[in-house]
């Protein structure tokens, strides 16, 4: 007798068949791919048994043997011998213009400014950061497919929490170029929390301190069984292990009286210096004795750089960088409405957290030893693999719920150059939030919408994301139309905006894909300015709002005069004209909201008799020809 195979909706009829889904940590210095095998998340090795893939790509001259490029360890080995064609830390260029990249002139390769995104120059031609990243992602994809001897269904790819819309879109574009179906983008600290939460069934408030090669993220998460809620997030997208290398190098050059060397060195010499700095940093991190020294010994074409460095020297040289991370930690706790005493555990993520100076700073601040149960290099990929396994439908009984947040507020420009926030920063995503707006002038048939990102009250102080128009609004009196603007943010943190006139159903929408991302300075400045300039912003907003109200009152008065000026004597008309002139003069020159409001109020009071006369005329016209008994 044949047996029927019964399966749940969306699952394969074959209970032994599963979709191959992986988690990918696309890092600044190295990348990994992980998958859930036999119920356990694990990183997938290459043929030599190595889990880590250096995030380095070298392009070879046309006609060279092989595929014309080297990826990973092969490219890393050529970083000193061929720095101009060997691209590392490419993640820092994703979705950026050249001017947005910190210390771009110190990179050993050439970066050009191009429309939309900076490019790098190689013997194989110009390459975008998306193309270079796609080479790394494709290598990880092939590793996964070779491991399972099957095609890849999809991947969850991690990004820094502070990646903005353009940087996230660039990451998705790189994955598409590599032939990878992106199941979801998730923030790196969130992925780490998934790995720790599921492996150890931890519950409570946790801080995830993620210091990678090129970025720093801090996230405050509330973990309960199966629910990962990101309460707040912060960090610095221009701070990572690479900066510790440069800080150590700068300190050594200062001690040896060669401070100009980084500016005058050839690309090859610069690569040697940075490579040596990284080796010394790693050696110092392994030192058990604070007085033990490690030789900084770099042989350059112009001579030798030699100096003995001990862990205490390294701590002094990099102290400002470590302090910057702790400033972000304190701010993230303030945003979450928590104190460090509320944090039950601190998770360290990223290879740079192996530095004792970092571990000590974190332990001292939170008064507890951070969690290091999982390999800090691998924990992000492991968490992404757990999420990918569930999204692929391989673990339908799993109770994982992931609640991420957006790092900066989103809103639209209103009259007077003000920002109306629709989605506040640290809002949980995915989400959809809406707000109703109306027209400013009589007969207005179109509405221009300007989407902005930032924490300030004035559009000039925020970053423009997109512009679009809603046309076909029926002519109505000012304020009569009802236009609902909806912001929809998907699970990847990507934004779409729609505007719909409620009466007619006319609608316009746009998927926000900025041409490039926020600069490193902009990210830090936007958040810092929202606090340091809060009082000034409130005053500026009040002035702009008062001016808008004055303009509306003047416009309404002019409209009334055009319709019913005959109700007034010449003297009364002159009095109203003087009040309008005063309101107009004060609104255009005064920087005090109270003065503008007083002038507007004076105009309103001075036109009250005129308004009464207009109302009487309107009533008379409405009742003309009507019998008393019919009323």
Tell whether domain 21-240+318-404 is in CATH 3.30.420.40.
yes
* pTM to 2 decimal places: 0.63
Residues in a beta bridge with 217: 210, 235
Tell whether domain 241-317 is in CATH 3.90.640.10.
yes
pLDDT digits (tens, 9 = 90+) for 163-208: 877 788 889 888 988 889 999 898 888 888 888 775 455 578 889 9
How far apart CA 37 and CA 20 sit, in angstroms, is 10
- Cα 17 to chain centroid, rounded: 37
Architecture of the structural domain at 535-623: Up-down Bundle (1.20)
Q: Do the domains 241-317 and 21-240+318-404 match in fold?
A: no
pLDDT digits (tens, 9 = 90+) for 214-254: 888 888 888 776 567 788 888 887 788 889 999 999 999 99
Q: Quick check: is 188 catalytic?
A: yes
Q: Quick check: is 281 catalytic?
A: no
User: Which one of 46, 82, 135, 210 is the catalytic residue?
Assistant: 210
Q: What is the mean pLDDT of the chain?
A: 82
Cis peptide before 430 (omega within 30 of 0): yes
623's tokens: 């009742």
Which of 526, 522, 527 minimizes the C-alpha distance to 102? 522
Contact 445, 471 (CB under 8 A): yes
Got the DSSP string for 236-263? ETT-SHHHHHHHHHHHHHHHTT-TTHHH
pLDDT confidence of residue 519: 44
* CA separation, residue 472 to residues 132, 236, 253, 477 (Å): 44, 44, 65, 15
Task: Answer whether residue 410 shows pLDDT above 70.
Answer: yes
The CB density around residue 622, as the number of other CB atoms within 10 Å, is: 8
Domain boundaries, the chain: 21-240+318-404, 241-317, 406-531, 535-623
Q: Quick check: is 91 catalytic?
A: yes
Contact 245, 353 (CB under 8 A): no
Residues in a beta bridge with 311: none
The CB density around residue 198, as the number of other CB atoms within 10 Å, is: 21
- Cα 183 to chain centroid, rounded: 19
The secondary structure element, H or E, covering residue 171 is: helix 165-177
Mean pLDDT confidence for 91-119: 82
DSSP class of residue 61 equals P
Mean pLDDT confidence for 543-565: 84
Cα four-point dihedral sign 58, 60, 66, 69: positive
User: Which one of 100, 131, 135, 188 is the catalytic residue?
Assistant: 188
User: Which one of 46, 91, 131, 245 is the catalytic residue?
Assistant: 91
Contacts of 7 (CB under 8 A, 6+ apart): 13, 15
Tell whether domain 406-531 is in CATH 3.20.20.30.
no
Cβ-based burial of 11 (10 A; exposed 0-12, middle 13-18, buried ≥19): middle
Which of 412, 405, 406, 514 minimizes the C-alpha distance to 462? 412
Q: Quick check: is 25 catalytic?
A: yes
555's tokens: 């416009």
Q: What band does 517 get if pLDDT is binned at 50, 70 and 90?
A: very low
Residues in a beta bridge with 158: 25, 186
């Amino acid at each position: 007798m044949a047996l029927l195979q019964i399966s749940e909706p969306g699952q394969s009829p074959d209970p032994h068949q599963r979709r191959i889904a992986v988690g990918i940590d696309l890092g600044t210095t190295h990348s990994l791919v992980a998958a859930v095998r036999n119920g356990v998340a694990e990183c997938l090795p290459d043929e030599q048994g190595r889990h880590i893939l250096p995030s380095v790509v070298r392009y070879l001259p046309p006609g060279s043997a092989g595929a014309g490029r080297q990826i990973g360890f092969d490219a890393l080995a050529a970083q000193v011998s061929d720095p101009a064609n060997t691209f590392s830390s490419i993640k820092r260029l994703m979705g950026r213009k050249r001017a947005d990249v910190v210390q771009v002139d110190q990179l050993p390769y050439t970066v050009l400014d191009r429309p939309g995104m900076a490019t790098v120059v190689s013997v194989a031609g110009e390459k975008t950061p998306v193309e270079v990243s796609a080479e790394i992602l494709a290598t990880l994809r092939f590793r996964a497919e070779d491991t399972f001897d099957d095609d890849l269904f999809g991947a969850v790819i991690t990004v820094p929490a502070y990646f903005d819309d353009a940087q996230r879109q660039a990451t998705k574009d790189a994955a598409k170029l590599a032939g990878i179906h992106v199941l979801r983008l998730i923030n790196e600290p969130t992925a780490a929390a998934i790995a720790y939460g599921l492996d150890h069934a931890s519950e409570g408030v946790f801080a995830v301190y993620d210091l990678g090669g090129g970025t720093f993220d801090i996230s405050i998460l509330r973990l309960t069984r199966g629910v990962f809620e990101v309460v707040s997030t912060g960090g610095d997208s221009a701070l990572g292990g690479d900066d510790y290398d440069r800080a150590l190098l700068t300190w050594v050059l200062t001690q040896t009286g060669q401070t100009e060397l980084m500016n005058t060195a050839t690309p090859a010499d610069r690569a040697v210096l940075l490579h040596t700095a990284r080796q010394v940093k790693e050696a110092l991190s392994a030192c058990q004795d604070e007085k033990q020294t490690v030789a900084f010994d770099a042989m350059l074409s112009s001579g030798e750089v030699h100096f003995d460095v001990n862990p205490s020297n390294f701590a002094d040289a990099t102290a400002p960088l470590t302090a910057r991370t702790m400033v972000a930690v304190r701010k993230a706790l303030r945003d979450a409405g928590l104190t460090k005493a509320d944090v039950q555990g601190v998770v360290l993520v990223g290879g740079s957290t192996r530095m004792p100076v970092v571990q000590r700073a974190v332990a001292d601040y939170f008064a507890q030893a951070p969690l290091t149960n999982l390999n800090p290099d691998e924990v992000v990929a492991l968490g992404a693999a757990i999420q990918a396994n569930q999204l692929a439908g391989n673990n339908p009984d799993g109770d994982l719920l992931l609640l991420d947040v957006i790092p900066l507020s989103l809103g639209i420009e209103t009259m007077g150059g003000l920002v109306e926030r629709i989605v506040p920063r640290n809002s949980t995503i995915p989400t959809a939030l809406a707000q109703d707006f109306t027209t400013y002038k009589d007969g207005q048939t179109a509405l221009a919408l300007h989407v902005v990102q930032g924490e300030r009250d004035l559009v000039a102080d925020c970053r423009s994301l997109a512009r679009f128009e809603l046309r076909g609004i029926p002519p109505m009196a000012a304020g009569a139309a009802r236009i609902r603007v909806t912001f929809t943010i998907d699970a990847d943190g990507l934004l779409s905006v729609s505007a719909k006139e409620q009466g007619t159903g006319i609608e316009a929408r746009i998927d926000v894909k900025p041409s490039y991302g926020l600069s490193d300075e902009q990210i830090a400045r936007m958040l810092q300015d929202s606090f340091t300039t809060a009082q000034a912003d409130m005053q500026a907003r009040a002035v702009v709002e008062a001016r808008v109200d004055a303009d509306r009152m003047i416009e309404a008065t002019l409209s009334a005069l055009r319709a019913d000026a005959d109700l007034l004597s010449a003297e009364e008309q002159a009095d109203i004209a003087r009040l309008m002139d005063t309101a107009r003069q004060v609104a255009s020159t005064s920087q005090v909201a109270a003065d503008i409001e007083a002038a507007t109020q004076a105009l309103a009071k001075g036109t009250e008799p005129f308004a009464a006369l207009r109302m009487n005329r309107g009533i008379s016209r409405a009742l003309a020809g009507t019998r008393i008994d019919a009323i």
